[in-house]
Every structure is written in structure tokens, then in C-alpha cells.
Structure 1
Amino acid sequence: MSKIIKEKLTDLGYRFVPEAYLQNGDEYYFRNQQFPDDRKFRNLTTEEIKILVRNDNYSNNWNHVLVTDKFLPEQIQHSKFYGLVRIGDMEDVYLDFRDLRLPCGIYNSTIISSDFGSTVAVHNVRYMAHFIIGEEVMLANISEMETSNSAKFGNGILKTDDVEERRIRLELCNENGGRSVFPFDGMQAGDVYLWSRHRNDYELQRRFQEMMEAQFSPHHGFYSEIGHHSVVKNTHTIKDIKMGSHAYVKGVNKLKNLTINSSAESYTQIGEGCELVNGIIGYGCRIFYGVKAVRFILSSNSQLKYGARLINSFLGDNSTISCCEVLNSLIFPAHEQHHNNSFLCAALVKGQSNMAAGATVGSNHNSRAADGEIIAGRGFWPGLCVSLKHNSRFASYTLIVKGDFLHELNVRFPFCLVSNEADTNRLIVLPAYWFLYNMYAMMRNTSKFQSRDKRKFKNQYIEYDVLAPDTVNEMFDALLEIEKAVGKTYSNDRTSADPQALGKEILLSDQQLTGKDILLDNVEFSRRKVVLAKPKEAYVIYGRMIRYYAATQIISFLESKPLADLQTLISSFSTSRSAFENIGGQLVPKTKLDTLLADIRDNKILSWKDAHARYHAWSDVYLEDKLQHAIASLAELSGVNPISWDKQYLKQLIEEALDTRRWIFDEIEGSRAKDYQNPFKQMVYDSYEEMEEVVGRLEDNDFINKERKGLKVFECAVKKILEELSII
């Protein structure tokens, strides 16, 4: 039952902080830190008070309305003031933002214990309590702006004497809360990933929480803030808000318990009909048209639009969600989900992903417990009307064909196509599908995500290349799986104690794999057959792409440094291929990650900012780590020790890479050209010329032309390196 309390009107605006929580007996201790009293505030003169009263203004104590020497009482009209109110410099001007023109001053508003920077325009704010308003801020037509003395601004902290039940948690990756984390301003996808894992390491979990809480004060009495040059208009409720500068908010239903980061370089906009509660919003975000978000973090330069619902979730940088619903999910950068009928729940999606219309990932409601988890490597793409069952796991760049997948899946083949064969009730896995059949879409990913990366400060290296340590390691695992499957299938024909060795022998021979289905084990939790399609083609392509990956890293190094430096590095590198982990879109050698976690346990890392500094240090040397991984990968694939790599070996490798790059370009152009040659694509147009007019000419395709130029640059770089190798 709600309880309405009666107090004396003269007390309105005072005793915001309960006496037990005062610092040095000062109610304004933290307020004065947020709004330093360096503007030389003074009391009103008798004449100024007369003008204010004549303009239909009221205060329960005019002595507590403080102004500067640049005060214009004529620009305060029809307003009420309670408690200590400080008003900064005023000018006889109006502010203009996107055709909204408001005279500076305070009009038709009720202000309780708040501070204003210079040259503000406040119109029709029916109730404002305990806010700090920056300079040149425009506020118009706002029903309610209030602050609680225990405001946390979306951070998962507790104030003094708070009970644990009041803490904000993000219940990520599954619906039972077993991987929940406490959100905080500045939290990165890597932080969430590390914290949501390692659940049986109680000391590490305790340290994660300590690191978060060390960044925030447990004291009561902080005011809400609206940053400099921000505009808020036609909004209903704003409570417990910390808003940065240059933000733009219009037509919002409710903003509560939020940190909204914004700056002149990366300003955030929140639009009509939105309701956002208990969250952190990054720099440069766009949130429009009926969005509902509760217990969430929206990372920088991301968008929520058109009625999207984001609940108990973390969305990484440069992502877009519109129309649909996302619950209990941890999503790394560059995620796209914009169809009204797609649904994502209880998932860890490692970025560069796309959810098609009708895709339903989560909430099967057919088990004896809460939903399990989906773990998907980067480039995850569940196609139209795909339904998946928890628990399932997918390698990077898995494409899933339309259909209901009624059993748990463990797909270990990167760049693959997964489909149901309805007439035989079999699962078909086609490894290396993207390289074999849709090189255009595959290679477009890298440039597409790079162009969409709108971060102003790229101090964390997010890997967008489809060929990187994570995907290459998965290709090695896939080679092993293919060898085992082929060897097991043909082991009845030959006596062999090692099916893998037999499979490798067959795959490297001229023998054609015909007449037998190559079956996979431990891919689907069912009794039906799982068929490995085109194993030999995939095996060859995986090997070719690994060699190409290694060669491109070596070529990139030799473009700026001499062969002697490469040979020195090779002699110092380990020939053992390193495991890498994707932490929030950043790829990190597992040995380095293990060292970080040990340092956190041992109190060598004291805050998440310290951890971020380690992330940035890793980014600075990532390309060297990638080169080392590439060299080790080539050594493992070829069986040739890098120490013995002479000029002739490198020349052959680089020439092969050039052939592969040309083949990749031909495949890019060819896979796109199929759309122009398909008669069914053409039949909706009166002529080929009309089709070109509607969809554009193939020769004008921006991506293909960019790749053509890239190929020429690559050819020039290779030619120069080959010439230098011939001279040495």
C-alpha cells in the first residue's frame, strides 16, 4: 500500500539526505563536488526579489535562491523555487536547436534544490528536484524530473544500508541467473564475458565484484545530472539520471536509473515513446520509436529502434537491434537483428552476427529446467525461421538453413552450412560453405564491419577479419574432425589402428570419396545420421585458407621490414600454435588471459580500469601475436620447421598467396555475377537493362571494385617483396 506523508511546506527542498548519511554534517557535500561553487554566487537583491514576485514567481525562502552578477530577473517567470537553488550566468538571448527556439531563463516550472549552469532555457518543467543542469541546456515540456538520495545511475552497486535485493544484476547467457553480473559505467564486453565465465572460481568472482565496487561511492546524496549543451523536450518522467553533454532526448515516456554517455564527438539521441530503466548507455547511441529496455548495457555507437525490447542483456559496440526481442543475452560487437519476428534468448553471441526474420534462438520451454545456453562464434547467422534447442554450440561463421532443429547441436566446423534433409531426416553439415559457394558475402564481412566501426577512440583492437587466430584454430580442429570421419567410414575397407591417419591419407590422395556417406559423431544429440558433405573439398579449402592467412601476415610484415627482421622473429617465436580466446570481440592469447586472471586473484589488478589498460596493451601487440600464430599455423600445417624457411620457400609461399588472392577475387565477382545470370532473378524485369537500373550494374558494385583495387595493391606489394627476395 502506498503511504502519503505530510510535511511542512517550509521543509520542501531540504533534508534530501537522511541525517544518518550526511558527510561532515553537510547535506550538499556531494552536490558541491558535482557543481563546484566557483561562479561567485550571491543572494538576490531586494529589487530583484520584487521583480521576481511581480513576474508570478514564488520561493519558500528567497535567501536560498542564489545567482551570479549576470542575473536577469525578467527571464524568470511563473516559476516556484524550493530549497537551495543556484542559477548561473544569464544572457538576453534564445537558444536554437533544430528549429526549437527557446528564450533563456526559467519559465512555468517548479524547481526544488537544483543547480543551473550558464545560459539555460527551462520551459514548462512541472517538477524538477535535485538536478544539476549544465551550460546552454534546453529543457522543455517535461512532466517530472526527480532524484532519490540513493541514486545509482544504473550501476550495480549498493548504497549504505541497502539490501542485496536492491542491486541491479544482468542475468546473462541463461535465464536462471547463474551467470549474472553487476553492470557499471564503462563496462566492456570483455569484462562481462570474463565475469560471466569461471563461475566455480569463487575467489575470482569475489575480486570481480570488488573491482567494480571500488569505482563507486556507497554514500547517499548524489544529484542527477544533465550535461552541457543537452536538449530534453516533450518527455514524461526522468529519474536518477546521469546524462553526458550534447545528448538529445525527445518524446520519451520514461528514463530511470540510467547513465547516458554522450559527448560532442559521439552524441547520444533518445526518441519518441521509449522507456529505459536500469541501464548504461554508451557514447553515440541512437534509441528511437517505442524501445523498451530494462536491466541492460548498450555499448557505444549502437542502436535500438522500432519497438525493440532489450532485457537483461549486454549489446556490444556498433550493433543494431530493431523491432524484435532480446533477453538474457551477451552479444559482442557488430550484431545485426532487425526483423520484427526474430527472438534471441539465453545466448552468448560472439559478434559480427545476423539474426534473420523468424529465427528463434531460445525459450524452447520443453525441458525440465530453465533454458540452457547457446554459444555461437562470431559471424553466427541463423537463417529464416530457424529454431534451435538449448544447449547448443556453433563454430564461427555458421549459417543455418531454415528449419526446426529439435536436438542439441555441437557444430565444430567454421564457415559451414547446417541444414535438415527433410526427405531422409538427416542433418547435413557442409564445411567451408562460404568459401566454396558465397565468397562475395564472406569477404564483404571484413570491410562491412570495419566501415561500421564508429568508435572515436579505437584503443581496443576488435578483430573483423574472417581469417584470424580464432577461425584458423577452428579450421585446424575441423581438419581433424574431417580426417576422423573419413577414416572411420573407410576403416572397414582397410586394416588400420588409427582412423585419423587413414582419413588423412585418403584425403591427401587422389581417391574420390563417392558411394559412401561420411558420417559425423557427437554433432547432434539424436539417433539420426549426421552427414558430412563435400569433405574433400572442404579439407582442401581449409588448408588453402590457413596457408593464405599465414602468407598474408608474412607479406604484411615484409612490406615494411626486411627479411632479416622476419628471420630474427621466427627464431624467437614458439613453433607451438597458441590458443586464442574471443573476449568481447578482442582476440587474446589464452596464456595472456590466464596471466590477467591470476593477477586479478593476486590483487595485482585492482580495478576494471586496470584490466582495461591490460586490454589496450594487448591490442598494441596483437598484430605481432597474430604473426606468431600465423607462422606456427603454417609450420604445423606444412610440417616444415620455420627455421628452415629459406628464400625459395618464402617465394613459393608468397606466389601461392597471390594465386589464392586472385582466386578469391574471381570467386567474389563470380558469386555476385550469378545473381545477374539467374533467369529467375531477371524475370521480374522487362529487360536486362531495367534490372541494371533497379539493382545497379555489376561493374559499378562498390565492394567488387574495392576488392579489385585491393588486389592490384596486393599484387604490387607481392611483386616488390619477390624482387627483394631475388636480390638478397
Structure 2
Amino acid sequence: MSKIVKKKLTELGYNFVPEAYLQDQDEYVYRNRQFFADHTFRRLTDSEINCLVRQDNVASNWQDIWVTDHFLPEQIKNNRFYGMVRIGDMQEVYLEFRDLKLPCGIYNSTVISCDFGSTVAVHNVRYMSHFVVGSEVMLANINEMETSSSAKFGNGMLKRGDVEERRIRLELCNENGGRSVLPFDGMQAGDVFLWSRYRDDHVLQTRFQEMAEAHFCVEHGHYSEIGDRSVIKNTHTIKDVKIGTDAYIKGVNKLKNLTINSSSESFTQIGEGCELVNGIIGYGCRIFYGVKAVRFILSSNSQLKYGARLINSFLGDNSTISCCEVLNSLIFPAHEQHHNNSFLCASVVKGQSNMAAGATVGSNHNSRAADGEIVAGRGFWPGLCVSLKHNSRFAAYTLIVKGDFLHELDIKFPFCLVSNEVDTNRLVILPGYWFLYNMYALMRNTSKFQARDKRKFKNQYIEYDVLAPDTINEMFEAMREIEVAVGKTFSGEGVTPETWSANGRLHLLGEESLLGQPILLDNVEYSKRKVVLAKPREAYLVYRRMIRYYAALELIHALEASASSVDFWTDIAEIGGQREPFENIGGQLVPRQKLDNLLDQVRVGGVPSWHDMHAYYHEWSRAYPRDRFVHAVHALAEISGTSIGEWDDTFLQTLLTDALETKRWICAEIESARSKDYQNTFKQMLYDSYAEMEEVVGKLADNDFINKEKAALLDFERTVERLSHKL
């Protein structure tokens, strides 16, 4: 049964903090820190009290109503005041936001122990308890606004006296909760990724939790906040919220236990029918039309729309989910997921990803227990009506063709196409598919994601280029897999993998045909059916070509920046070591050695908080161009089979020539891939003429991306010519 307690009316608005938690200080200590008033407050005069009473205002104690010398009692009508209330400067003005126009003042509201900044407009707030409201805020038609003394505002903290069961955790990456983390305001995808890994390292896990708890104040008495110039209207319930400046909230069903970051440069909007509980929302977010989110973090400049469900999940910057359901997932920046029946569960998706209509990644029928895990590299794209099984792993830019994949998969080939060959019951892997058949879509990714990056404070270098240390390293691994598969096919059993690899390399780089028998792959699918490697030579050669092209671009940038070729070669000669593995932490690429060194510091207490951890992210971002350049140099040495010490001007001249040829090929493939849509007679059949089709879909000659690539090719040709003279 409900437990309803009766207390004296004169106590309403007081004793917000239980006496046991006051710690020898009054209950207003944190409230006073939150309310940054730049003017002096005074008590009401007798004439002001009489005016307020005539205007149907009631107070439990008029001596606890505090105002400034710019107080206009005529703008306070039909209200109930309880506890201490402070009202900032007032003016004879109205506030206007879009079509909403409200006279300043407080009207038809019940206010319990709240603070108001200057020139606010509060209308028809039926119940408002323990809020600090900024200046020029508009509140209209709100049913309930309340705050508990133990409010946590979406953070995974415990207040003094709380039990562990009350702590909010995000149960990410795995449905059983074994990778859960404590959310906190300012948490980044890299934080979540690192914390959700290394679960057998108990020292590191303990330090991660201590670093999170360093952000929190365990004392009771913090009020909910509404920042300057925020507008809230036609909303039902708001409880335990911290809202930044310039936010716009309308028609919301429920906001509870939230931090909503917003600023004048990057304001957040929340719209009709939304219910958001136990979460943290980044700057510049848009949440509209029936969204349900529980135990979540939504990073900056991301969107939830049209009934999206985000539960026990982290969604990275510059992402959009509409209509779909996402559970127990960690998603890096620049994720796109639309259409009503897309479903993503218990996964780590490393950004720049797209979930097609009907795709199902995880559901309980996949095993006899809760869903396990799926880890997918950048550019992950499960196609229409794809169904995948846990546990599975996918290399960067894996495209999966429509179909039910009934077994666990380990796809090590970046830029590949994965498909079921239903009539023969075989799995077919086509490595390098994007380079070979859809260059337009692939190369458009880089500029597309850069244009969508609306972060005002780009403190972290998010890698959007399809050719980067992570994808290059995966290409090297994929080439090794192709060599072994080809060598095993033509050499037979009974030899070592090293011999298979060497023999496979000879076949792949030779002239003899690889046709005649299928090239089969091992350890790709957890089943007894065959896994076929399609077009091994074409894939192998395009991997080699793109690795050289990646390295050439880096060396060209370095040569351009060098005062002379002597300085350039001196720099190259000083590079030692070998090609390093890189880790993708939240969209940022970092050499694994740097990450391991930082984790060692964390273990011994050298990193006090996650904010201090972010300083290392920023340092890595500044160092990344150099790290990428060094990686490219080692990649070139490895793919060319020559040591760095053997390089000279002739070597570099050949590299420039090859890079220009590859750039021309890429540009031609981009236009060719897009032109297929104009040459397809089935696509033309719905138009009366070719001219009508161009009017509807636009002319190929006017394609902005293709024209930019052609212009970039001309610039590249001039650059190569200029650098050739520099050598």
C-alpha cells in the first residue's frame, strides 16, 4: 500500500536535507553555490506583501520570500509559495520564443523553495519544488517539477547513506551486465570502451571506478537546475534534472534523473511524447516524437527520433537513431540507424556505421542464454534484413548481404562483402569489395562524416578517413589470410602456415590462373559448411595498392611541409621500430603502446580522474598526425619489401607516380560506380525520357562529390609535379 505521511503545513519547503546528512552545515549550502546571483536580495516590504495578497498569492512565511530592488509585485499573481524563495530582477517586458509570448513574472503556480534568476516568465506550473532557475527562462504549462535531496542527475553515484542497489549502471556490450560501467557527465566513448574491456584486471577495474567517483559529490542537497534562456512548455513530469542554457523542451511526458547539456552555441531540443530516465545528454542533441530512453548516454550532436528506443546503451557523437531499438550497446561516433524494424543488441560498433532496414543484430533466440557480444570495426553495414548471431566479430567496412547468418562469424577482411550462397549452402567472402565495386560510396564516407561532425569543441581527433592505421593493419592481416588460403589450396596439407603463406604469395603475385578449384577459408564461421574466398588475386592486389597509396599520401604531406628534400630524408632516416598496432578507442586511433603505458599509470594511481584521462586523449590527438605518418612509413617499408635505409629520390619518385595513377583510378571508379545508376535500363523505365530522369534525380555532370573529386585530382596532379621538381 502507499505510505502517505502527514506533516505540518509550516514545514513544507524546509528540511529538504535529512538532518543526518547536514554535516554541521545548513540545508542551503549547495543551493547557494548553484544560484549565482550578481545582485543583493532583501525581504519584502509590507506594501509589497499587501499587493501580493490582493493578487491571490499565498505564502507559508512572507519573511522567506526574498527579492531585489527591481521587484514588480504586479507580475506575481495567483501563486502558492512555501519555504525560502528568491526572485531576481524583474522588468515590465514579455519574453518571446518562436510563437510563444509570455509576460515576465510568476503566475498560477505552486513554488516550493526555489530560486529564480532575472526576468523569468513562469506560467501555470502546478508544482515546482527545489529548482534553481536561470535568467530569461520561460516555463509554461508544466504539471510537476520536483527534486529529491539525493538527486544524482543521471550519474552512477551513491549519495551518503545510499545502498549499492540504488546505483545506476550502464550494462553495455553484453546482456548479462558483465561489462557494466558507471555513467558520468562528460563520459566519452573511449572511457566506456576501456572500462568495458580488461574485466580480468581487477586492479584496473577498481581504479576506473575510483576515477569515476572522483567526479561526484556524495552530499545531499543539490537542487535541480534550468540554465539561462531555456524554454520548457506543455510538459508533464520533470524530476531530478540538470539542464544547461538555451535548451528547448516541449510536450515531454517525463524527464527523470538526467543531465541535459546545452549551450548557446550548441543547444539541445527535446520534443513531443518523449520519456527519458536515468541518462546523460550531450550538447546539441535532438530528441523528438515518442522516444524512450532508459539508462543511457547520448553524446553531443546526436539525434533520437520517431519512437527510437535506447536502453542500457551509449551512443557516440554525430549519430542518429530513428524508429529503431538499441539495447546493451556501445556505439562509437557517426552511427546511422533508421527504419522501424532495425534492432541492435549487445554490441560494440566502432563508428561510421549504418544499420539497414530489417537488420537484426542479436536476440535471445540466438542461444540458450542472454545475448553475448558482437564487435564490429568502423564502417560496419549489415544490409537489408540481415540477421546475425552472437558471438561474432567483423573487420572495418564489412558489408553483409541480405540473409540469415545462423552461425558465429569471425570476418578478418576489411572492406569485404559477406554473403550466403543459398543454393550451395556456402558462405562467400569477397575482400576489398568496396574498392573493386563501390568506390563512390566508400570514398564519399570521409567527406560525409567530416561534414556531419558538428562538435563545437573538437577536443578529440576522430578518424574518418577510410585509409588509416586501423584499416591498413587489418589489410595486412587479411593479406596474410589470403596467402595462407591460396597456399594451402595449391600446396596441400602437411606444410607449415609459413610455407602456405610463401607459396600463396607466389601464386597471387604470379601470372598463373587461380581458377579451377575454390579457395576455402578456415576459422571464419562456426559451422561445417564451406567458406569460399572470392576473387583472391584481385582482393590481394587492391589491398597492396591501397596500402601504398595510403603511405604515399602521408609522405607527400610530409614532403610538402619540409623546407627541402634533405630535411625530409633526414626525418625519414630517424624513424625506427616497426609498424605498430593501433587501437580504436571511441573513434580515436592511438598506438597500442601509448595506451598500454597509460593503463600502467592508471593501475598505480597516476591518473586521478577521468577528466585527467581526457587530457591524455587530447595529447594523443595532437600527436596523431605524427603517429600516423610513422605508421605509414613502416607500412610502406613492409609492403615494398625494402628497408627505410634503402629509399632514395628514385624510390620516392616511383611512389609519386604510382600514387598519381592510383588517384586517377580512384576518381574514375568513383564516377563509374555512380554512372551505373544512370545506365541501368530498369532504373530508367519509370521515366518517360532520360531528360525527365535527370530532372528527377539530378544530372551526373552536376554531382557535387564527383566534381570535387575531379578538382582534387587536378590539385593532386599539380602537387606531384611540384614535388617531383623538389627532389
Scaled by the length of structure 1, what TM-score is found?
0.99
| 1:58–1:80 contact (8 Å) kept in structure 2 | yes
Partner of 1:619: 621
Q: How does 1:476-625 map to 2 (within 5 A)?
A: 476-492=476-492, 498-561=499-562, 562-625=564-627
Q: Determine the C-alpha separation between the residues in 2 that align with 1:499 and 1:590.
A: 29
- Kindly tell me: are residues 37 and 356 of structure 1, through their superposed partners in 2, closer, same or farther at Cα, counting changes over 3 Å? closer
Listed one character per residue, the Cα deviations across residues 560-581 of structure 1 (whole Å, up to 9, x for unaligned) are 2132232222222224100000
Give aligned-pair identity as a percent: 72
| 1:313–1:330 contact (8 Å) kept in structure 2 | yes
Q: How does 1:260-409 map to 2 (within 5 A)?
A: 260-409=260-409
Q: CA deviation at 1:215?
A: 1.0
Amino acid at match of 1:455: R
Q: CA deviation at 1:494?
A: 11
Q: Determine the C-alpha separation between the residues in 2 that align with 1:402 and 1:480.
A: 28
Q: CA deviation at 1:45?
A: 0.2
Q: Determine the C-alpha separation between the residues in 2 that align with 1:143 and 1:543.
A: 64
RMSD: 1.1
Alignment partner of 1:404: what SS? coil
Q: Determine the C-alpha separation between the residues in 2 that align with 1:378 and 1:657.
A: 25
> Structure 2: 5+ residue runs without aligned partners?
none
Partner of 1:218: 218
Listed one character per residue, the Cα deviations across residues 660-708 of structure 1 (whole Å, up to 9, x for unaligned) are 0000000000010011011111111111001000000000001101111
Q: Determine the C-alpha separation between the residues in 2 that align with 1:374 and 1:433.
A: 22
Partner of 1:233: 233
> Structure 1: 5+ residue runs without aligned partners?
none
How many residues in Structure 1 have an aligned counterpart in Structure 2?
725
Listed one character per residue, the Cα deviations across residues 162-188 of structure 1 (whole Å, up to 9, x for unaligned) are 000100000001100000000000000
Listed one character per residue, the Cα deviations across residues 9-47 of structure 1 (whole Å, up to 9, x for unaligned) are 010000000001114330101101111454210000000
Amino acid at match of 2:532: V
- Kindly tell me: are residues 565 and 602 of structure 1, through their superposed partners in 2, closer, same or farther at Cα, counting changes over 3 Å? farther
Alignment partner of 2:602: what SS? helix
The question of 1:52 aligning with 2:31 is answered no
Amino acid at match of 2:582: F
| 2:364–2:370 contact (8 Å) kept in structure 1 | no
Listed one character per residue, the Cα deviations across residues 335-374 of structure 1 (whole Å, up to 9, x for unaligned) are 0001111000000000000000000001142422211100
Partner of 1:663: 665
Partner of 1:688: 690
Partner of 2:12: 12
Q: Determine the C-alpha separation between the residues in 2 that align with 1:37 and 1:474.
A: 56
Listed one character per residue, the Cα deviations across residues 629-688 of structure 1 (whole Å, up to 9, x for unaligned) are 000001011111112210110011011001000000000000100110111111111110
Q: Determine the C-alpha separation between the residues in 2 that align with 1:38 and 1:58.
A: 27
Q: CA deviation at 1:582?
A: 0.1
Partner of 1:714: 716
| 1:575–1:631 contact (8 Å) kept in structure 2 | no
| 1:252–1:272 contact (8 Å) kept in structure 2 | yes
Q: Determine the C-alpha separation between the residues in 1 that align with 2:588 and 2:493.
A: 46
Q: Determine the C-alpha separation between the residues in 2 that align with 1:211 and 1:384.
A: 42
Q: Determine the C-alpha separation between the residues in 2 that align with 1:425 and 1:379.
A: 27
| 2:321–2:336 contact (8 Å) kept in structure 1 | yes
Partner of 2:248: 248
| 1:364–1:389 contact (8 Å) kept in structure 2 | no
| 1:362–1:371 contact (8 Å) kept in structure 2 | yes
Q: Determine the C-alpha separation between the residues in 2 that align with 1:492 and 1:187.
A: 52
Alignment partner of 1:403: what SS? coil
Alignment partner of 2:145: what SS? strand
- Kindly tell me: are residues 146 and 668 of structure 1, through their superposed partners in 2, closer, same or farther at Cα, counting changes over 3 Å? same
| 2:138–2:231 contact (8 Å) kept in structure 1 | yes
Q: Determine the C-alpha separation between the residues in 1 that align with 2:383 and 2:600.
A: 40
Q: Determine the C-alpha separation between the residues in 1 that align with 2:493 and 2:526.
A: 28
- Kindly tell me: are residues 37 and 231 of structure 1, through their superposed partners in 2, closer, same or farther at Cα, counting changes over 3 Å? closer
Q: Select which of 636, 640, 647 maps to 2:649.
A: 647
Partner of 2:445: 445
Partner of 1:131: 131
Alignment partner of 2:546: what SS? helix
Alignment partner of 1:649: what SS? helix
- After TM superposition, what 4+ stretches of structure 1 lie above 2 angstroms from structure 2? 492-497, 562-566
Partner of 1:637: 639
| 2:366–2:390 contact (8 Å) kept in structure 1 | no
Q: Determine the C-alpha separation between the residues in 2 that align with 1:686 and 1:598.
A: 68
Q: Determine the C-alpha separation between the residues in 2 that align with 1:7 and 1:492.
A: 87
Q: CA deviation at 1:235?
A: 0.3
Alignment partner of 1:39: what SS? coil
Alignment partner of 1:348: what SS? strand
Amino acid at match of 1:536: R
| 1:364–1:390 contact (8 Å) kept in structure 2 | no
